[in-house]
Structure 1
Amino acid sequence: MDNIELGSSSRTGGVIEMSPRRNFVPWVRWVPVALVPLLLLASNFPGEYRVPLWYWSMALAAAIVFLWGGRWPLPVSLVLSALAVPMFLTDAWGLSELVPYLGAAGVAEVAMLSTRSAPVVVASVSWTAAVLWGIAAGDSSTFWRPATAVETLAVVGLPLLFGLYLRAQRRLAATYRARAADADMRRLEDSARARLAERAALARELHDLVAHHMASIVLRIGVAKHVVAEADPRVRSVLDDVHDTASGALDDIRRLLVALRDPSPGEVSLVETDAVSTEIAAAIERTRATGITVDAEVDTDLGELDTIGRLTLLRVVQESLTNVMKHADPAQPVTVSVVREHGGVIACVISCLDDPAGAVDPAGHGLTGMAERVALAGGKLEVGAEDGSWSVRAALTMSDGERGR
């Protein structure tokens, strides 16, 4: 098969190739199948001329062969030229004389689709020979007149030039598409570089400001524990709790710094799988340390949640318990449930409201942040007050492999 241009642009040795889907509009190829019988019928003149049956056969065969021009343009062009010869030799009448010129359309298509000169030359020579044969058979005495050259140039040259023009336009369109694709790629690369620069700048700010101050707090609490060594055990318990909380927050900030500096944050484990249940248990114990009764059910096997899912689960529980300490009635128990259910993990925190009006702070960002986190993780968050209680329920989906267990 010849080297044919294909529609989606690709470069091979400096030649633009195009895919077949860029050829003629599909219905255009069926026009000759519908039009040729009409031309033949219109050429029948009762009592004067009737299109021969074999001419019908040749004409319909040419129309059907034309349907395959998009796939095999050179063979189709050669067949159309061969079929045109006997039709040229026939003393046709009226519109039936136009049927052989499907060969001109075949030459134009070869010129449009071929990337090499050889197929175009072969198709042009074949069609030229058919045309000259038809002219010579008509009246050999006038064959060597200038009119023969003019007719041949018109019948062969115009379709050839039209096909070459279409090929140039297709190549130009492919070049523009390639340039547009390159421009889009450059814009994506520039955007990615800008995001990386912003992440790096944010990481520097977190390191220089937040991480520095958190490290200072941890250090000073450690010093305070030694200074008040003989103090009330309750004071030491509070200092130990604050020291552990600050140390955990500092570790979280350091892991966040790694994620911000890494171009593939999805591969950075902000929270290890085995540590999720431990961190949730630690958050529950901190809540209990404030004097609130917490009834907890935490499944130690939380399945194959991805990095974002693990972090989202932990942060939802932590934020919910923070809101409990702010707004819940300390005399009423709080229920915390983190279990595997329905192919995912369901986290639910229910508390009794001490101040229903203040449960949702319009100026706060806790609930908004939780909703955004859960949405990014592909989960669902339900928050609301009912019968004097406040509930937060987050449903997170496991990975496909774990979900099928």
Structure 2
Amino acid sequence: MPPTSPTAPLRDVLAWVRWLPLVVVPVLLLVSDYPGRYQVPWTYWLAALAAAVVFLFGGRWPLPVSVSLSALAVPMFAAHSWGLSGLVPYLGAVGLAEVAMRTHRPASIAVATGCWAAAVLLGIGSETYTTFWRAATAVQALAYVGLPLLVGLYLRAQRDLAVTYRAQAAEAESRRAEATVRARAAEREALARELHDLVAHHMASIVLRISVARHVVDEADPRVRAVLDDVYGTASGALADIRRLLVALRDPALGEVALVEPDAVPVEIAAAVERARAAGFAVAAEVDPDPGPLDTIGRLTLLRVVQESLTNVMKHADPAGEVDVVVTRRGAGVAVRVASSWRADDPPNPDGHGVVGMQERVALVGGTLEVGALDVGATGSTWRVEAWIPGAAPGGGAAR
């Protein structure tokens, strides 16, 4: 909506006001008839109805309408109206006010003012020649012309002031948004430095040492070899994730250069499921191969929710129970559900760091997360993690 346009309710009110003379003018003329003493002339009817019709177009052509209303007011003033019908010529005053309100061109305002002033002077002069130049007549003419002019100028000033305030508010909001972006960029850069200096070097060292250990114990027990291979794969994957995260943190404008590629999401979830199965848990997984319209952070959030949920399962869940993992598209996003049986002697902590981390991640992308126990009993309970992660809207941001 442009800054100068009125709001929808105000537009509705103005539309009704614009059509109001078509109803009010005939009523005023009808009630002004006084049987046996006065009847509104048909010429007055024609001029009055013409003024009501012309008034409809004041919003589009204010100056021509104002001049026309002033011209139509002259014969109505000259007709020496009776009663309420005498109000009809003063639609010209409304036309003058509208010109003063809608235009910033002094010439247009001067033309409208001059036409209406001429109509008023001719109308007053036609009443009684002897009082035409009296002071009372001059004051009356000034009031008829000056008041609508002042009202129009005042309304224009108020509208211009409102436009200025809206522009200033928009500019202030833009500055705040830019400051927020700069602050977040600085925070991302600082976090990237910390990750690089404190975490990435250590992870690289761990990967290197495990690689050396795999070659040193080449003839060792196959079980040891399997454990080292698993640790090496996990550490290498973590190091790759850290490096991709560093790239994204240092350049948040990379757009489609993803931390997790769309095709890799089902693969990574399947890998997390297999790790849980390797730990002795019976995991039933239903994963949609299409992760939906998730952006970079959305895909990473989806993956981390599943990974963290399965990590908690391996730490606290009952190995004899079943674990359900469901990842499906729902609405404009992706729904995740991980449910498992938990032992009564090892109840879950909904305020643990893992759950808090999931809550922060999901909240960051505008999603929802529900964590809690179901079917609590003496032997344990069913613990479920349910999340909904919104997809990226076409214009950017999260879809609602």
TM-score under structure 1 length normalisation: 0.77
Q: More deviation in 302-311 or 153-162? A: 302-311
Matched, 1:248 2:234: no
Distance 2:282 2:59 in 1: 74
Structural mapping, 1:176-191, within 5 Å: 176-191=165-180
Q: Secondary structure at the match of 1:272?
A: coil
Pair 1:336–1:155, CA change in 2 (3 A):
closer
Distance 1:313 1:124 in 2: 68
Corresponding residue for residue 365 of structure 1: 353
Identical counterparts, % of pairs: 62
Aligned residue pairs total: 384
Corresponding residue for residue 19 of structure 1: 5
Structural mapping, 1:58-69, within 5 Å: 58-69=47-58
Q: Secondary structure at the match of 1:138?
A: coil
Q: More deviation in 181-190 or 36-45? A: 36-45
Corresponding residue for residue 99 of structure 1: 88
Structural mapping, 1:1-400, within 5 Å: 8-9=2-3, 18-19=4-5, 25-29=14-18, 32=21, 36=25, 39-40=28-29, 43-45=32-34, 47-140=36-129, 143=132, 149-264=138-253, 267-290=256-279, 292=280, 294=282, 297=285, 301-302=289-290, 304=292, 306=294, 307-330=296-319, 332=320, 335=323, 337=325, 351-353=340-342, 355-370=343-358, 373=361, 376=365, 378=367, 384=373, 386=375, 390=382, 392=384, 394=386
Deviation at 1:212, TM superposition (A): 2.2
2:301–2:361 CA contact under 8 A, matched in 1: yes
Corresponding residue for residue 398 of structure 2: none
Corresponding residue for residue 3 of structure 1: none
1:384–1:390 CA contact under 8 A, matched in 2: yes
TM-score under structure 2 length normalisation: 0.78
Pair 1:81–1:399, CA change in 2 (3 A):
same
Distance 1:377 1:102 in 2: 55
Q: Secondary structure at the match of 2:345?
A: helix
2:292–2:329 CA contact under 8 A, matched in 1: no
* Alignment RMSD: 3.8
Distance 1:222 1:51 in 2: 107
Query: For each residue in 1:173-196, what CA deviation from the matched residue of structure 2 results, as whole angstroms up to 9, or x when unmatched?
Result: 221221122112212221222222
Deviation at 1:278, TM superposition (A): 3.2
Query: Where do 5+ consecutive residues of structure 2 fail to align?
Result: 394-400
Distance 1:349 1:159 in 2: 71
Q: More deviation in 243-252 or 344-353? A: 344-353
Distance 1:319 1:33 in 2: 71
1:266–1:308 CA contact under 8 A, matched in 2: no
Q: Which amino acid in the other structure matches residue 358 of structure 1?
A: D
Distance 2:360 2:231 in 1: 28
Q: More deviation in 193-202 or 380-389? A: 380-389
Distance 2:250 2:162 in 1: 41
Query: For each residue in 1:72-127, what CA deviation from the matched residue of structure 2 results, as whole angstroms up to 9, or x when unmatched?
Result: 32222122112211111123344433332221221121111112123222222222
Query: For each residue in 1:336-366, what CA deviation from the matched residue of structure 2 results, as whole angstroms up to 9, or x when unmatched?
Result: 655768788776656554x333140255233
1:304–1:398 CA contact under 8 A, matched in 2: no
Corresponding residue for residue 397 of structure 2: none
1:256–1:270 CA contact under 8 A, matched in 2: yes
